[in-house]
């Protein structure tokens, strides 16, 4: 943030945010004002509401804080993900630790979590079991474990980098009913075969040739968490078989996918013997998840 004023002349919070927002807008960041606020709140160790109050009061940003903020702002302008800079990604009521090597959970996945939570809550068991295949940061598993506390939730991850982040999130959240394993998805949790009420997954589903436009996704999310083969459904095919092994009859499979993939996934699952395949929209009215019932 270049400034012709003397270094000792501190800017107000309002001035700092105005200049930061303009810089991020020039860099093409869609949510420039929000990102500027979240970064400055992070630097000042304030909640966003407290930052707004500081702006109203006319508080100033010290030179030391301004220097740290300028460094983070430059990295955000270079399109490093906001969540990597703050180290945190909000997901429902959780704050998850994230960074290089793990897929950053998206707001649209909260819809997928709600579908899985509803199915788990409705399960006719005193202690229903859920499995999250390819848990990444642990977002879906930890949402289920904390919002359905009478359930037992198991998560599998086969990327060592992502597993390190997930294990840390499991430790921080401290849900006693949540368990994580480093395991290939195809071989995950054989001891649970036929006992699971809900299997959920946000698998890699981007077709190999469909390179994402956003630099935050294209350049920073792990390729193994993005790309799913020529049609994007290679991992979905694996999960269909694994979920059929894990679920008891009447159990529910919940899959996140791209907005164009609902129909091919319904066809795939139906051909594999699943019943009642249905696609559900997220809050932006885009097809986001498909569910099916184990025969």
Alpha carbons 242 and 274: distance in angstroms, whole number? 12
The domain boundary residue, chosen from 59, 78, 97: 78
Establish if 1 belongs to a structural domain.
no
One domain, residues 251 and 114: yes
pLDDT at residue 9, as a whole number: 61
CA angle 221, 225, 198 (to 5 degrees): 130
Establish if 4 belongs to a structural domain.
no
One domain, residues 104 and 64: no
One domain, residues 127 and 197: yes
Q: What is the dihedral of CA 78, 84, 88, 89, to 10 degrees?
A: 70
One domain, residues 210 and 240: yes
The domain boundary residue, chosen from 78, 107, 128: 78
Q: Where are the beta strands (DSSP E) in the chain?
A: 88-91, 94-97, 129-133, 152-157, 178-182, 196-201, 247-256, 275-281, 287-293
Sign for the CA dihedral angle at 203, 207, 208, 210 comes to negative
Q: How do the pLDDT tens digits run along the chain, 295 residues long?
A: 444 344 446 799 999 999 999 999 999 999 999 999 999 999 999 999 999 999 999 999 999 999 999 999 999 999 999 999 999 999 999 999 999 999 999 999 999 999 999 999 999 999 999 999 999 999 999 999 999 999 999 999 999 999 999 999 999 999 999 999 999 999 999 999 999 999 999 999 999 999 888 999 999 999 999 999 999 999 999 999 999 999 999 999 999 999 999 999 999 999 999 999 999 999 899 999 999 999 9
One domain, residues 276 and 220: yes
Whole-prediction pTM:
0.90
Establish if 224 belongs to a structural domain.
yes
Locate 101 and state its tokens: 């090597």
Establish if 67 belongs to a structural domain.
yes
One domain, residues 72 and 97: no
Establish if 251 belongs to a structural domain.
yes
One domain, residues 123 and 250: yes
Q: Each residue of 44-61: b (16+ CB within 10 Å) or e?
A: bebeeeebeebbeeebbb
Establish if 83 belongs to a structural domain.
no
Establish if 7 belongs to a structural domain.
no
Angle between helices 234-246 and 262-271 (to 10 degrees): 50
Q: Is 264 exposed, middle or buried (0-12, 13-18, 19+ CB in 10 A)?
A: middle
Alpha carbons 131 and 253: distance in angstroms, whole number? 10
Domain count, the chain: 2
Its domain, for residue 289, covers: 89-293
Alpha carbons 253 and 247: distance in angstroms, whole number? 8
One domain, residues 149 and 39: no
Q: Which long-range contacts (CB under 8 A, 24 or more apart) does 262-265 make?
A: 262/287, 262/290, 264/231, 264/233, 265/233, 265/236, 265/290
């Amino acid at each position: 943030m270049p400034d012709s004023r003397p270094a000792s002349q501190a800017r107000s919070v309002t001035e700092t945010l105005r200049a930061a927002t303009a810089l991020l807008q020039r860099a093409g960041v869609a949510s420039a004002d929000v990102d500027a606020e979240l970064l400055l709140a992070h630097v000042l160790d304030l909640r966003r509401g407290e930052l707004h109050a500081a702006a109203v009061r006319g508080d100033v940003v010290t030179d030391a804080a301004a220097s740290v903020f300028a460094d983070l702002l430059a990295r955000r302008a270079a399109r490093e993900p906001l969540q990597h800079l703050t180290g945190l990604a909000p997901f429902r009521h959780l704050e998850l630790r994230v960074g290089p090597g793990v897929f950053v959970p998206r707001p649209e996945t909260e819809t997928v979590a709600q579908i899985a939570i509803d199915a788990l809550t409705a399960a006719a068991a005193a202690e229903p079991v859920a499995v999250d295949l390819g848990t990444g940061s642990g977002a879906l598993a930890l949402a289920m474990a904390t919002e359905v506390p009478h359930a037992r939730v198991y998560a599998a991850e086969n990327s060592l980098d992502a597993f390190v982040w997930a294990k840390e999130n499991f430790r921080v959240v401290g849900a006693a009913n949540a368990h994580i394993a480093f395991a290939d998805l195809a071989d995950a949790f054989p001891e649970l075969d036929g006992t699971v009420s809900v299997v959920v997954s946000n698998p890699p589903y981007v077709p190999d040739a469909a390179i994402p436009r956003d630099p935050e996704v294209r350049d920073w999310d792990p390729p193994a968490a993005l790309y799913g083969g020529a049609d994007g459904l290679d991992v979905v095919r694996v999960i269909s078989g694994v979920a059929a092994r894990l679920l008891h009859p009447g159990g529910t499979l919940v899959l996140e996918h791209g907005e164009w993939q609902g129909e091919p996934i319904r066809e795939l699952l139906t051909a594999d013997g699943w019943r009642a395949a249905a696609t559900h929209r997220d809050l932006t009215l885009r097809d986001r998840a498909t569910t099916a019932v184990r025969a």
